[in-house]
Homo-oligomer: A and B are copies of this chain.
Amino acid sequence: MNDFTFYSPTYFVFGKNKESETGKYVKRFGGTKVLLHFGGGSVVKSGLLDSVKKSLEAESITYLELGGVKPNPRSGLVYKGIDLCRSEKIDFVLAVGGGSTIDSAKAIAAGAVYEGDFWDFYQGLPITKALPVGTILTIAAAGSEGSPDSVITNEEGMYKRGASGEAIRPAFSILNPELTMTLPPFQTACGATDIMAHVFERYFTNTKEVEVTDRFCEAVLLTMIKEVPIVVANPLDYEARANIMWAGMVAHNNLCGVGRDQDWASHDIEHELSAVYDCAHGAGLAVVFPAWMKYVYQHDVMRFAKIACRVWGCEMDYDYPENTALEGISRLRSFLKSIGMPLNFEELGALEKDIDKMAETACYGNGRTGEIGGFVKLKKEDVINIYKLML
């Protein structure tokens, strides 16, 4: 096991109607003037935004609204939010929405107290200072409600990059599974795929003897395999929504990743897909992961056999463990298909002609030096081969 630090100080408030307590928590964590950040339609139409506003007003907290966050959130709106925070002396950023809104809020919170261009953080500068952020989560997916991470798409060139720092971990996050019930099955499944992907990125490691984190990873995956088909069939199942929502947080606050090297090549490979085609991140990951697994499984057949047996319920083939490894990948594909995810370029709307450009950007774009991934180091040629497995 590697040495590590683990610090997840977010105050999680989980359950029915908890958004009505937002004002109380903003106050507890020092907010007096709030930037209320959100996307568009559903948060307004459902009455959620009104309920949050009422709760702020009840605590005499003032707020300014900044809506318009899009999936794969853009740098343009972040600049606008930073300007607002500075000119209006905002002291708290409150995100109402999914991972995109939360990531945008984190970028604004960090940029507002930084003299330079906030994009510096997305080129590798660690975030050490930010306004406090609170979240009211509406989609179980990105895990941004408990993570120190943010991913933003730069509009000049349409490439996605991530930034990180303990300062942008939310001070509090309100998780009400009811708020996720209106999500259509496709978006629900995209979110579920993202959650599982966060675990895969951590599961495939070269660090030996990390049984405890292996078991946590498996715990999240087994939960998802049980609960996701239930909500895809019945979006109103509160209990299944609740299990998925909490699993989504744990999948990405790094409890599943401490003490071990991690991979993250598949996220890099997917980020090009969603940046170029603006597809849902989870849908992109559904296409990328089985391809990546097929390309790298021979690097550690027994690890792939382990997940196949423990998570996918395969029988171990003691004579030919690679058969078990491949059967696990095959069951992942079947599972993704069963919940309505795309499995190839065509279903995703991606084009073969863009492969070279995407592989180039994934490996060399924005300061990278030609290699991605921790479990298996991939060069541009490897990334091209992985994209080709998705055709």
Report A's interface with B, CB cutoff 8 A: 1-16, 18, 177, 208-213, 215-216, 218-220, 222-223, 226-227, 239-240, 242-243, 246-247, 250, 255, 258-259
Tell me the bound Cα distance from A227 to B211 in angstroms.
9
Given contacts A212-B246, A246-B212, contact A15 B4 (CB under 8 A): yes
With A8-B8, A216-B216 known, 11 other A-B pairs at CB within 8 A are A1-B242, A3-B14, A5-B13, A7-B12, A14-B258, A209-B239, A209-B240, A210-B243, A212-B227, A219-B219, A242-B259
Contact partners of A10 in chain B: CB under 8 A: 7
Contact partners of A247 in chain B: CB under 8 A: 212
Q: How far is the CB of A12 from chain B (nearest CB, A)?
A: 4
Q: How far is the CB of A192 from chain B (nearest CB, A)?
A: 13
Q: Is the CB of B4 within 8 A of A11?
A: no
Please list 11 pairs of residues, one from A and one from B, whose beta carbons are closer than 8 Å in the complex, sorted by A's number.
A1-B177, A1-B242, A5-B11, A6-B12, A6-B14, A8-B9, A9-B11, A211-B222, A212-B219, A215-B223, A219-B219
Contact partners of A240 in chain B: CB under 8 A: 209
Q: Is the CB of B12 within 8 A of A5?
A: yes
How many copies, total? 2
Q: Is the CB of A11 within 8 A of B3?
A: no
Contact partners of A11 in chain B: CB under 8 A: 5-7, 9
Tell me the bound Cα distance from A220 to B255 in angstroms.
13
Contact partners of A223 in chain B: CB under 8 A: 211-212, 215
Q: Report the nearest B residue to A3, measured CB to CB.
A: B15
Q: How far is the CB of A251 from chain B (nearest CB, A)?
A: 10
Q: Is the CB of B239 within 8 A of A259?
A: no
Closest A-B pairs by Cβ, 5 of them = A3-B15, A215-B219, A9-B9, A209-B239, A1-B242
Q: Find the residue from A5, A246, A258 having the highest chain B CB count within 10 A.
A: A246
Tell me the bound Cα distance from A8 to B11 in angstroms.
8
Tell me the bound Cα distance from A366 to B259 in angstroms.
43
Q: Is the CB of A239 within 8 A of B12?
A: no
Contact partners of A16 in chain B: CB under 8 A: 3
Contact partners of A209 in chain B: CB under 8 A: 239-240, 242-243
